Amino acid sequence: MASNIAYTIQQNQFGDALAIIPSESNVQSGSILYRLDLEMAVTRNDAPASGLTIGFRVSGVQSHARQIGPTGAGGKATLRLESRIVGKNTITPLGLPEFADCKFDVTLGAAWFESPFKITAYNCCDEADFSGPLVNGQNVGKHKQDFLFGGRGICMQGTGRGSDGKYITITNPKSVSWNPGYAGVANPDAVIFQYSDGVHGAYGLVTADSSIAIDPTILPPRHRVNIIGPRALGERRGDDTGGAIKGHHFDHYVGAGQAAVDAWNAAGGNLASAKVKYLGS
Amino acid sequence: MRTLLAVSGVCLGLLTSPYLRADGTLSTEELLVTLSQSNPKLVQTLRDGFDLDKNAEGAIIGRAVNPALAGTRIGPYKLHGRLRKSQSPVELVITLNTAMVFSDRRGHKTASVATATSVTETLKNIQIETASDVE
């Protein structure tokens, strides 16, 4: 007379068997929280076992599985796995020796964010978009005044691309004093610039149409996602962040200048509710 | 030659667009909700008079300048839209000019964006141009 637990991964609301990253969950110790529901069918003496509640343990200290309600008339119940462990998670029944061998291995990797994301876009300023006289910037020579010192230029944005294609960044933003209205710097002689190898995000260089700014409590830094729809953007990596990027919001880096933003808008612009798949590190 | 459109309650002059560059996009609806707190009549004029695109653009504060405020959109903002009651709608660029105040952790106005902990904006006026004159 055999006893057994058969496990089947339930289909999620996205129509497949991947785990879900719950809306209310946050990144902890650099890991997202996976939630995966399984159907468990319990038999005892070759018959469905109803009214049964079984405890489980899961390999890994950041993981647990719990049965949601006792088994029904068919011996079935939902088993909910919650884990931060990428890769194999082994679920093992506890307490009832007859089920001790009824283990189940689940491999966690890609997953769906339960919550949709807002997707906006940002660029870095491009000297080609500016006008005005050429003035000297410390360490970088002559450039358009507003590009260096204007309220839309490097002193506000941090980094810009010069007309020679070189990236310029400000090194001492705390020394900058702004005129009333913040349209221009009051003390340009105090500003020190330097050339840069690109636009540096919080976690590395940002690349057009590849990097996104993220809330690190939602997506771990440098981890990858696939932005599926309603307009597919494809694979992106969390290379940047900022205090204004909160919650389920990605700010998509489009490159330098107005043309990059125009291209973003021409392709459909912001997404208010994007479906996002987590891909991992 | 620039085309000027008169809108009730909106002061217009011969325009030189301050907005040839856009740095970050945002939702038009979210922007109008925010700006209506400082100037509800002007925002309502926009809502009543124009069909506005869903995306707006604004300046942006960079991480290298102020990590705590990085990604924040600030004015002037640019919207695209069309005059609602026009029989032959013309594509318009609408610039929302704001007055900004950066404040430090004690809530005092500061001339240093890098050390500010917050920024507040007040919608001051709007400028309207035909898109063909701007872009």
**ipTM metric:** 0.90
DSSP state at residue B89: -
Give contacts of A157 with chain B, Cβ < 8 Å: 23, 59-62, 64-65
Of B20, B25, B112, which has the smallest distance from its Cβ to A174's Cβ?
B112
Q: Do B65 and A155 touch (CB under 8 A)?
A: yes
- What ranges make up the beta strands (E) of chain B? 24-27, 50-60, 73-83, 92-103, 118-130
Handedness of CA A207, A209, A213, A218 (dihedral sign): negative
pLDDT, position A61: 80
* B14 pLDDT higher than 60: no
Q: Where residue B18 falls among pLDDT bands split at 50, 70, 90?
A: very low
What burial class does residue A38 get, using C-beta atoms within 10 Å of its C-beta: 0-12 exposed, 13-18 middle, 19+ buried? buried
pLDDT, position B85: 84
Q: Do A242 and B67 touch (CB under 8 A)?
A: yes
Cα(A125)–Cα(A144) distance, rounded to whole angstroms? 12
pLDDT, position B132: 82
Domains in chain A: boundaries:
4-113, 117-275
Q: Do B24 and A251 touch (CB under 8 A)?
A: yes
Q: Is A28 on the interface with B (CB under 8 A)?
A: no
* B123 pLDDT higher than 50: yes
* A31 pLDDT higher than 50: yes
Give contacts of B115 with chain A, Cβ < 8 Å: 174
Q: Is A151 on the interface with B (CB under 8 A)?
A: yes
| Helix segments in chain A, DSSP class H | 145-149, 154-157, 258-266
- Each residue's pLDDT tens digit, A101-128: 999 999 999 999 999 999 999 999 999 9
Q: What is the mean pLDDT of chain A?
A: 96
Q: Do A241 and B54 touch (CB under 8 A)?
A: no
Q: CATH: 2.60.40.1930, 2.60.40.10, 1.10.10.10, 2.40.110.10. Which one for A4-113?
A: 2.60.40.10
Q: Where residue A280 falls among pLDDT bands split at 50, 70, 90?
A: very high
* B6 pLDDT higher than 50: no
Q: Where residue B89 falls among pLDDT bands split at 50, 70, 90?
A: confident
Cα(A144)–Cα(A37) distance, rounded to whole angstroms? 59
The CA R_g of chain B, rounded to the nearest whole Å, is 16
Q: Is A230 on the interface with B (CB under 8 A)?
A: no
Q: Where residue B20 falls among pLDDT bands split at 50, 70, 90?
A: low
Residue of A nearest to B116 (CA): A174
Q: Where residue B13 falls among pLDDT bands split at 50, 70, 90?
A: very low
Q: Do A156 and B65 touch (CB under 8 A)?
A: yes
